[in-house]
Chains A and B, each alone.
Chain A
Amino acid sequence: MTTSFTARAQLLLFILFNLLCTIVYADDKAINKDNKPAIIGAGAHFAWVIFNDLKPALQQSSGRTVELFGKESMLGMGCNAGIKMAQQNQPGKESFGFVCCPLSDKEVHEKDIQVHPIAKEPILILVNKQNKVQNLSQQQVSDIFSGKITNWAEVEGEDKPVVVVTRLHCKHRPGHWKTILPDAKSFRKDRLNVKSAAEMVKRVTDFPGAIGHTGATWVFGSDSNVKSVSVSGFSPTAGNLRAGRYPFYRVLSAVTNKQASADVMAIIDRVQTGPEFSRVAKEYELVPIRQ
């Protein structure tokens, strides 16, 4: 009698366990259309911000799980990683990348990829908050970064040496910091080269005489002590950028290989044209390219 009861109890527990597993599994895959694996997106931080903000809407509209990597360009993420991720796309392992620089036609051809421009992003010229300078001309900015101007007194600031902080990544690609100076050699030699936007902000925070640059989508922490200056009287807004009044910017894009699935393309299209992106673009002063 006892044995029979135990056997029945074990059977009941087994059924309940299986039922529970099925529910959990079903819940996990509920968002996934036809139980397809997640679509992986990875690349530069600044484009990651856009995709990450839109992630719930993208998953909802595509019915696919989207996993994104690239926050603060950690774990080796960046434009190169974004392009590599796009190249690795294949059925069953769908992926795409995102980059913060425009790609040359030659690179697009050699790497057999497609570029899907999303938005123009203003490049902020950062100075320490202690710095009294509020505005610089485009030429002054170029001269400071090139080393022609080495003291803030020369641009109506305090008598304080200028500390140039740069992050000259993607050197073989057009645009981006090249809107300030055309090549790395043109920049002042006795400058600080940093490897991330976070370090850039930190350096400018630490040195009252520092000047640096970063994209408008960077979210500044409470410990940062920096501000952006206007250029030739125009602040780095989407309106000024769209009107061509603000000179420093870069293009944020998604990249895929030529075998990108309809779901991947639909996701990118949703980013480029969807209503949710308008809100994000407004928040970060971005200029959508396809809207």
Chain B
Amino acid sequence: MTPPHTYRNRLILYVVLLEVFLIGVLFFFYSQSRDAILDVANRNLGLFVSQLNAKIKLEEHELEQSARLISNNVQLREYMFVVVSIGTETAPLKDLFQRQFGWLRFNSAAIISKQGKVLIGGDDKKLLAAVNKYRTADKPGGEVFYYTTENSIEMATVMPVFYQNEFLGNVVLTHTMDASLIETARSVGFGQFFVVSNGKILRSSLEGGLIGQSFKEKYGQLQLGGDNYLVSKVTYFSDKNLPEVWFGFSNPELTGQLDLIRSQMLALALGASIVILIIGIAMIRNFSRPVSRLVSRMHQVGEGKFPEIETVQTRDEFGYLINQFQDMVIRLKEKQDEVDQVQSLLEEQATTDSLTGLYNRRYLYDLYPKLLSDAKRQGNSITVILADLDKFKQVNDKYGHIVGDHVLTHVSEIMRNCCRVSDFVFRIGGEEFLVLTTGGLNGGEILAEKIRNKIEQSPLKAGDLILSVTSSFGVAQLESTDASLSDILARADKALYAAKDSGRNQVSVINI
């Protein structure tokens, strides 16, 4: 019978539940991650744009400091004085500017005299046009303004130059904002810049630029080139004459991150599932196998078998249980052996005569049905030989019961020796004996005669006493009309009395 696997099934269930839980948790986090990414992207966008505003302010300050450094340089003021006031060539001034300030961070520079003559940087017409309104000695300088060119938004600052309290002109520096912003976007690694004018994209950091495409933002989102964008305006450029600058993330950029996370989650789930599965299988095997073995052994013990159980070396609970069970089985087997021995003894005592060792009357009645059944199956006949010692009472009276017992033992021994292994010899009364044999009536008569003769020829020798003993025999055969053992016994008894009546020490046979 296969033992029930309740605990193993439970373990399997636990493993499955664990797997389901794990996958459920991962699925939950995955489903939440999209919202989280969008939320983080939104916050990062705002943060980045505010940092960008701060960066632009810093660049304004840096540009102003550079212009101030140049305008305060004593040598430059001297040279500018020579050029402006004395009217010499500008080459020394250009050389000096290049030599002294070439390392400064700006896009283009100009030095304009108080008369409006461009001393340095005359190529940049847009710059000169934008600077004209700032060209004055009255302003302290350092004011930053913006102007646009075809390709960029330019940050510019103007700083007056004085020599011995005389206003000589202005130093103008510019810094290209688009390039700076695009460079910033690229350094961040993702996100795009859009320069927008009148709802159209002028420039962007995207490849191809999407130049000329419509830029219609709604609630911080818009559709561009088939992709959805999360955008925020760089508010630093407040001048309405300037283009707007926007910074944003595209959905592919964000979902790219999400896909990456999804792949990582999937890999994690797969790895964790495999690990849990392996651990589960190992647990089930480690738990189920010893339990199954134990249950199987228990079944064997229940069936009365005492299987050999090898000692388990592991020190876990199962090892302890199996070893305890093994001890229990060994002790049980020992007890069973003792019980069997006692039972065997009791059975022997219940079926034999304690004096002679022959079967007793009780066993006769137990055995007869079986013999009858076997005989009928095999087509044999059963013959009963009933024997009674002659004048045994006189022996007892004359020589005592001890000698009488010796006589009985002596006769029993003779009868046992004369019979075949297949014959059954009983002591059914004080001096009455019975032999059941499967031979026919003739065989029974011959056996009876053989016993009678042997008894007669074998006197009992007890010390100095030599005592001759004889016995009478009645022989009867099982008949088909016999309803029970009593029927055949009655006939054998009748034959015995006939032998007694005929003078004893004879064999009498009844033939029906």
A47 within 8 A of B: no
B193 within 8 A of A: no
A206 within 8 A of B: yes
Q: Please report the C-alpha to C-alpha distance between residue A94 and residue B88 in the assembled complex, in whole angstroms.
A: 51
B interface secondary structure, majority: helix
Contact, CB under 8 Å: B87 / A206:
no
A209 within 8 A of B: yes
Contact, CB under 8 Å: A190 / B88:
no
Q: Please report the C-alpha to C-alpha distance between residue A162 and residue B87 in the assembled complex, in whole angstroms.
A: 9
Contact, CB under 8 Å: A190 / B78:
no
Q: Please report the C-alpha to C-alpha distance between residue A209 and residue B92 in the assembled complex, in whole angstroms.
A: 11
Task: Name the B residues within 8 Å of A150 (CB-CB).
Answer: 86
Among B79, B81, B85, B86, which residue has its beta carbon within 8 angstroms of that of A206?
A: B79
A284 within 8 A of B: no
Given contacts A206-B95, A206-B96, contact A192 B89 (CB under 8 A): no
Residue of A nearest to B86 (CB): A161
Task: Name the A residues within 8 Å of B277 (CB-CB).
Answer: none
Residue of A nearest to B99 (CB): A206
Q: Please report the C-alpha to C-alpha distance between residue A203 and residue B96 in the assembled complex, in whole angstroms.
A: 11
Q: Which positions 75-95 of chain B face chain A at CB distance < 8 Å?
A: 78-79, 81-82, 85-89, 92, 95
Contact, CB under 8 Å: A190 / B85:
yes
- Chain B residue total in the interface (Cβ 8 A): 12
Q: Please report the C-alpha to C-alpha distance between residue A207 and residue B82 in the assembled complex, in whole angstroms.
A: 9
A163 within 8 A of B: yes
Q: Please report the C-alpha to C-alpha distance between residue A203 and residue B87 in the assembled complex, in whole angstroms.
A: 15
A102 within 8 A of B: no
Distance to closest chain B CB from A70 (angstroms): 24
Contact, CB under 8 Å: A161 / B92:
no
- Chain A residue total in the interface (Cβ 8 A): 12
A274 within 8 A of B: no
Contact, CB under 8 Å: A163 / B82:
yes
Contact, CB under 8 Å: B82 / A192:
yes
Contact, CB under 8 Å: B88 / A160:
yes
Among B81, B95, B96, which residue has its beta carbon within 8 angstroms of that of A192?
A: B81
A247 within 8 A of B: no
The tally of CB-CB contacts under 8 A between chains A and B is: 28
Q: Please report the C-alpha to C-alpha distance between residue A208 and residue B78 in the assembled complex, in whole angstroms.
A: 15
Distance to closest chain B CB from A82 (angstroms): 26
Distance to closest chain A CB from B120 (angstroms): 15
Q: Interface digits, B95-118 against A, CB 8 Å rule (1 contact, 0 not)?
A: 110000000000000000000000
Task: Name the B residues within 8 Å of A206 (CB-CB).
Answer: 79, 92, 95-96
Contact, CB under 8 Å: A192 / B88:
no
Among A161, A162, A192, A209, which residue has its beta carbon within 8 angstroms of that of B78?
A: A192
Q: Which of B78, B86, B87 has the most CB of A within 10 A?
A: B86
Contact, CB under 8 Å: A190 / B92:
no
Residue of A nearest to B93 (CB): A206
Task: Name the A residues within 8 Å of B81 (CB-CB).
Answer: 190, 192
Q: Please report the C-alpha to C-alpha distance between residue A208 and residue B89 in the assembled complex, in whole angstroms.
A: 9
Distance to closest chain A CB from B177 (angstroms): 35
Distance to closest chain A CB from B101 (angstroms): 15
Q: Please report the C-alpha to C-alpha distance between residue A160 and residue B85 in the assembled complex, in whole angstroms.
A: 13
Residue of B nearest to A199 (CB): B75
Task: Name the B residues within 8 Å of A192 (CB-CB).
Answer: 78, 81-82
Task: Name the A residues within 8 Å of B85 (CB-CB).
Answer: 190
Contact, CB under 8 Å: B86 / A163:
yes
Task: Name the B residues within 8 Å of A209 (CB-CB).
Answer: 86, 88-89
Task: Name the B residues within 8 Å of A161 (CB-CB).
Answer: 86-88
Q: Which positions 198-237 of chain B face chain A at CB distance < 8 Å?
A: none
Q: Which positions 139-195 of chain A face chain B at CB distance < 8 Å?
A: 150, 160-163, 190, 192
Residue of B nearest to A202 (CB): B75
Q: Please report the C-alpha to C-alpha distance between residue A229 and residue B138 in the assembled complex, in whole angstroms.
A: 44
Among B79, B86, B89, B95, which residue has its beta carbon within 8 angstroms of that of A190?
A: B86
Q: Please report the C-alpha to C-alpha distance between residue A55 and residue B2 in the assembled complex, in whole angstroms.
A: 119
Q: Which positions 245-269 of chain B face chain A at CB distance < 8 Å?
A: none
Q: Which positions 204-259 of chain A face chain B at CB distance < 8 Å?
A: 206-209
Residue of B nearest to A151 (CB): B87
Task: Name the A residues within 8 Å of B79 (CB-CB).
Answer: 206
Residue of A nearest to B96 (CB): A206
Q: Please report the C-alpha to C-alpha distance between residue A55 and residue B85 in the assembled complex, in whole angstroms.
A: 46
Q: Which positions 58-88 of chain B face chain A at CB distance < 8 Å?
A: 78-79, 81-82, 85-88
Task: Name the B residues within 8 Å of A203 (CB-CB).
Answer: 78
Q: Which of B82, B85, B88, B92 has the most CB of A within 10 A?
A: B82
Q: Which of B78, B81, B95, B96 has the most CB of A within 10 A?
A: B78
Q: Which of A163, A192, A203, A208 has the most CB of B within 10 A?
A: A163
Given contacts A161-B87, A190-B86, contact A207 B78 (CB under 8 A): no
Q: Please report the C-alpha to C-alpha distance between residue A257 and residue B82 in the assembled complex, in whole angstroms.
A: 44
Q: Please report the C-alpha to C-alpha distance between residue A207 and residue B96 in the assembled complex, in whole angstroms.
A: 11
Q: Please report the C-alpha to C-alpha distance between residue A206 and residue B87 in the assembled complex, in whole angstroms.
A: 14
Given contacts A160-B88, A206-B79, A208-B88, 10 further A-B contacts (CB under 8 A): A150-B86, A163-B82, A163-B86, A163-B88, A190-B85, A192-B82, A203-B78, A207-B82, A209-B88, A209-B89
Residues of B within 8 A of A (CB): 78-79, 81-82, 85-89, 92, 95-96
> 6 tightest CB-CB pairs across the interface, nearest first?
A206-B92, A161-B87, A161-B86, A163-B82, A190-B85, A209-B88
Identify 18 residue pairs between A and B in the complex whose beta-carbon atoms are under 8 Å apart, listed by A's number: A160-B88, A161-B86, A161-B87, A161-B88, A163-B82, A163-B88, A190-B81, A190-B85, A192-B81, A203-B78, A206-B79, A206-B92, A207-B82, A207-B88, A207-B92, A208-B88, A208-B89, A209-B88
